[in-house]
């Protein structure tokens, strides 16, 4: 019986659960969270949705005390939306999104430490969380959203076939609705694309025009429907036997997003340029989110600009954050956000 578990039933996790409740490929769907009353209510609604639309025959609620408890769930795929920071809630003005990476990391790390047997699809800031956990051997199998939400824009505008290498930092240039996540000045992050129309490649300049072409999206949490659709595509591909072409962030813990082929729980890159070049593009683009690099021992090295800003506004210095210091830094950031938010 194909089983998918969704961990964390906040706004995004709940929308993912609702979307998977319409999937004919999922036979058993589990929603897992700490809040028994709210979680059970969400799952009971999903049971009705599944019954109406021919989705999973079994929809269940599992209460967990800690996110790591979800690793014991018997599932074919685990989707984690659990995070200590959500992008859409107001944050102290002027603090770049990347400053909150330690808060995005801790719960994903705790789940992966618990040793889930199923592949994990990561939703909290996967472009940075994946490579941050990779040196520790704790990277989720893949993420969803970001590049998976942007590539369809290029395909729809051009009518062509697209393969896109793109970091989270680029998405706010494609969709002004995401401008809340950081600066969108003239100096854009690097990215790369192969866009074929009738078998012929479009020039990079034309692709760049399409990337930044107007495409209004609703503000705030309404865009979680888009992320939920991207997540469902990844989940269904992992469950299927036939290869599916898609776009996803952090496959195998790599920085940023890539074109991929997915089937039977396996993820392979689907590149037209050398893998080393694609990774280098995304690692450079990560600096627009404030992350300079991840060192071999998992230490996060932030850009001087983000370190100075975080210290000035939040009173938390973010030059270097080692895995040993991650929890303390995350706690300090959470306290500062709550004081200033």
> pLDDT tens across 250-269, in order?
999 999 999 999 999 999 99
d(CA 258, CA 164): 6
In degrees and rounded to multiples of 5, residue 4 shows phi and psi of -125, 135
pLDDT bin (cut points 50, 70, 90) of residue 232 is very high
**pLDDT grade for 95, boundaries at 50, 70 and 90:** confident
Which pLDDT value is given to residue 185?
61
Instruction: State pTM to two decimals.
Output: 0.96
Q: What integer is the mean pLDDT of 137-147?
A: 98
What domains does the chain contain, in order, with CATH numbers? 3-143 (3.40.50.720), 288-340 (no CATH)
Q: Is the C-alpha dihedral spanning 306, 105, 13, 139 positive or negative?
A: positive
Q: What is the pLDDT of residue 89?
A: 73
């Amino acid at each position: 019986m194909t089983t998918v578990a969704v961990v964390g039933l906040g706004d995004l996790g709940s929308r993912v659960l609702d979307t998977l409740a319409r999937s004919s490929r999922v036979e058993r769907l589990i929603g897992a969270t700490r809040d028994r009353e709210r979680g059970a209510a969400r799952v009971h609604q999903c049971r009705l949705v599944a019954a109406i639309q021919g989705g999973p025959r079994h929809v269940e609620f599992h209460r967990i005390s800690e996110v790591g408890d979800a690793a014991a769930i018997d599932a074919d795929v685990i989707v984690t939306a659990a995070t200590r920071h959500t992008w859409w809630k107001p944050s102290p003005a002027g603090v770049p999104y990347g400053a909150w990476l330690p808060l995005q990391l801790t719960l994903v790390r705790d789940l992966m430490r618990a040793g889930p047997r199923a592949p994990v699809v990561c939703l909290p800031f996967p472009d940075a969380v994946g490579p941050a956990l990779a040196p520790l051997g704790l990277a989720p199998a893949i993420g969803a959203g970001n590049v998976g939400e942007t590539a369809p824009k290029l395909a729809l505008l051009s009518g062509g076939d697209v393969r896109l290498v793109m970091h989270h930092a680029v998405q706010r240039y494609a969709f002004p609705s995401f401008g809340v996540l950081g600066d969108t000045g003239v100096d854009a992050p690097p990215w790369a694309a192969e866009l074929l129309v009738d078998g012929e490649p479009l020039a990079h300049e034309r692709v760049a025009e399409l990337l930044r072409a107007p495409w209004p999206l609703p503000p705030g949490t309404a865009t979680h429907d888009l992320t939920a659709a991207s997540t469902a595509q990844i989940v269904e591909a992992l469950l299927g036997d036939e290869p599916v072409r898609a776009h996803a962030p952090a496959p195998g813990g790599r920085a940023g997003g890539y074109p991929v082929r997915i089937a039977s729980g396996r993820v392979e890159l689907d590149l037209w340029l050398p893998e080393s070049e694609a990774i280098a593009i995304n690692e450079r683009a990560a600096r627009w989110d404030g992350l300079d690099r991840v060192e071999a021992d998992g230490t996060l090295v932030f850009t001087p600009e983000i370190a100075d800003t975080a210290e000035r506004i939040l009173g938390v210095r973010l030059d270097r954050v080692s895995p040993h210091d991650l929890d303390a830094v995350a706690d300090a950031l959470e306290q500062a956000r709550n004081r200033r938010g």
